[in-house]
Chain A
Amino acid sequence: MTPLLRMEGISKHYGGVRALEGARLACARGRIHAVLGENGAGKSTLIKVLAGVVQPDAGTIELAGEPIALPDPAAASRAGIVSVFQELSLLPDLSVADNIGIVDPPRMWHRTWGPIDRRAQRRRAEAALARVGAGDIHPLAQVRDLPLSRRQMVEIAKALARDPKLLLLDEATSALTAADVASVFRVLRQLRDDGLAIVFISHRMQEIAELADDCSVYRNGCHVASFPAGSKTSGEIIEMMIGREHESVFPPRPGRASSERPALAVKNLSWAGRLRNIDLEIRPGEVVGLGGLDGQGQRDLLLALFGALTGVTGSVAVHGVPVTLSSPQRTRLPGGGIALIPEDRKTEGLMLPMSVRENLSFAAIDQFSRFGWIDRRAEEAAIASMIRLLGIRADGIDGPVAALSGGNQQKVVIGKWLMTRPQIILLNDPTRGIDVGTKQELYRLLRELADGRAALLFYSTDYDELIGCCDRVLILYDGAIVNVLEGDALTEHNIVASAHNLTAAGAAGAPP
């Protein structure tokens, strides 16, 4: 039987950058096809070609054996190709229902000329949300007000509501918690069994293992290999992706830091009913994780500690000195201060059209300037060493960061903050959309920073990461810390249990 989709010889160049070179992909009905590759391998570009967003320089696309042209997203949509993009394509000012029904909504009176039937649209949206297990999202809510994980669910519901023949998911689960992932996977399997072809991209290897039927690996824009899932070990796959051998993922944890004075001590911190009486202490050299279901206040806590919220009560001390964190500028403290790796790199971390140079040195510009005058040499030297340290792949430092792949952009965000030499680093899901190789470098980097006596507070939606990286994990539920896990008690089971606030203390390891 011919596969539903066949792409051959797809090439795409951006100026001097090779995004795809003779790439190919074939996927069949009733199969979930995983696409793997490190950051910048060209996965998203491949998806965008299929979605009609990007026009390839060369190559052919066949759908059900017929050659097809995809000049714009609308054409792809008509052909039954529906995508969930890495950068979400939701409309923040519109309601969830409007978003889900944005293309081809139900109409009153006449199928093409009638006005939009809002009731029918709302029913349709409710059904789609319920189907992916996001029934908690109100269809009239504005997407702008939803946290990233809920938005991702809306995006998936939106894709499914369009009755695709071919569904493309580009890191669609990167911000989802385990529970959401599970319910999305249930639907995806159901759809596969109904005969859909699904292309699935994720940097989380266990998701690939769990879901994929076939795999294709790309490297540097080229197709490396395709094989049925399970025929290769994950070590082999990673080797294909990064082109070298791959060691154990997490760097070793040193023993607990001594009982010296905490770098960050928070007492009784509350905010707007969304954070309740948070107490926490992080010593220099410690990596403390924030866990729990998404949206339990973890992101707000990080923002509060960074001075980005108003009306926060409670006390915060840095190295024993009480500080008022009434604005981010106030986190600039003698000896380094506090850094925040924000949630959304595109809008919060970077000035996309500006150069890598300007982005990297932006937060630390004071170090290279006297009386407001920038010393470009000092700046360049510092940038060069940061690029080396993080292995940022960029076509020179004067190109816009927008041209970097997602993972490299994330590295720029991290580099931007490392340049300020912070003593306390708040990380808001920093590995979202980062490939395994880079992730591993990042874990190593975090540990090095901790060894360099920085204190890290690390929120992640990935439990493995929390377990592998953190000395301690605080589980938040409804804005309060409900459990603290460390040592042997730091297991996936315990995290999941306390995340749902099921545990009475003791059932899953008592807090110290």
Chain B
Amino acid sequence: MTARVLAGRIDRALAAAIGCIVVLLVAGALYDRNFLSADYLLQQLQVASFLGIIATGVMLVVLLGHIDLSIPWVVTIGGMMSTAAAGHQGWAGALAIPFAIACGLGIGIANGIGVAYLRVPSMIFTLATNAIAQGLMVVHTSGFAPQDHATPAMHFLAVERSILGIPNAVWVWAAIGAATVVLLGRTRFGRRIYAIGNSERAVFLSRVNVRLVVVACFAISGACSAFAGVLLAGYSTKAYQAMGDPYLLPAIAAVVLGGTSILGGRGSYLGTIAGVVLVTLLQSILSIVQMPEAGRQVIYGAVVILMLLVYGRSAKVVS
């Protein structure tokens, strides 16, 4: 495999994802012209940005060769903690959003510690922290009957369109995305993420604090999810139980459809963006054309497999 082949692979994922997006839009437009209206497209972008922010964290973790199944309830924690803090007077209320992100960060760090220090497979450690996060939120809701109304700031970030008529959520995602592109491509930390995904052992023997990088990635993932929870609360103007449930599998699917190897070490953020848009559009279009849930699931699965067959095949086993 030469660099060109490798680069070609990533480009192919991106190109295929974009191709699929175009096909979906055309198919949608054949069903109803309004699919191509700016209204509809901007709305998809707005909704995609919530998923995109979550997928950003997921991608970092997947690049390490791990997975984060605690997404659903960390999103919920983000929403519920921000609204709960907003209910307080004074500085606690003002710091609602940072507070929620800090909560996500905390769970992310716990995930990282479990994975990096206790060496529990991420797939089940994060499963357990997800269960704990859910337990905490049930206790939280039942205990103090907390405030769960979103603040104007949250609503502003999630829904309003301040610049060029583009939803603020999209700008937020763009900023996070740009930071991620830089982080992955231009920084030492980014190098280390890819390297750990390829050979943790070699990275350890290169005097890198592997555990710290792993903890950092899980922490970022937790923070991203919690922040997405804040935006979702802003979108719905409230936080509620299980609000993160619909985001786990789409986030993973988006990352993988964007060409990131689920085994880690390979992937580009541009691909993830395309994956997020693709998944969002696919869900939306299947919903609009009133495909019954049964058919929707079958088509969803088939599309994922077909797309991966186009570009996601692994190399044959030869030296």
Contacts and interface: CB of A to CB of B under 8 A. Distances in A.
Interface of A: 14-17, 48, 53-54, 87, 306, 308, 327-329, 331-332, 337, 340, 342, 347-355, 358, 362-363, 365-366, 369, 372-374, 376, 395-396, 398-400, 402-403, 416
Contact of A350 (B188, B199, B209): B199
Contacts of A396: 3
B6 A365 contact: no
B230 interface: no
A15 B186 contact: no
A355 B3 CA distance: 7
A48 B319 contact: yes
Contacts of B194: 351, 354, 358
Query: 3 tightest CB-CB pairs across the interface, nearest first?
Result: A351-B198, A398-B3, A363-B206
B1 interface: yes
Contact of A365 (B2, B4, B188, B198): B188
B198 A369 contact: no
Contact of B4 (A15, A53, A332): A15
Contacts of A340: 205
B186 A373 contact: yes
Contacts of A331: 207
Contact of B187 (A347, A350, A369, A403): A369
B203 interface: yes
B196 to A, nearest CB: 9
A374 B208 contact: no
Given A15-B4, A53-B318, A403-B1, A349 B202 contact: yes
Given A363-B206, A398-B3, A374 B199 contact: no
B202 A54 contact: no
Interface of B: 1-6, 186-189, 191, 194-195, 198-199, 201-209, 265-266, 318-319
18 contacts: A15-B2, A16-B2, A53-B319, A337-B207, A347-B199, A351-B194, A353-B1, A353-B6, A353-B265, A354-B194, A354-B195, A355-B3, A369-B188, A372-B189, A374-B191, A400-B3, A400-B6, A416-B206
B205 A342 contact: yes
B318 A54 contact: yes
Contacts of A16: 2
Given A15-B4, A48-B319, A373-B187, 5 more contacts: A340-B205, A351-B203, A354-B198, A358-B194, A362-B195
B198 A347 contact: no
A376 B318 CA distance: 33
B132 to A, nearest CB: 30
Given A87-B319, A374-B188, A395 B2 contact: yes
B205 A374 contact: no
Given A353-B265, A358-B194, A374-B191, A54 B2 contact: no
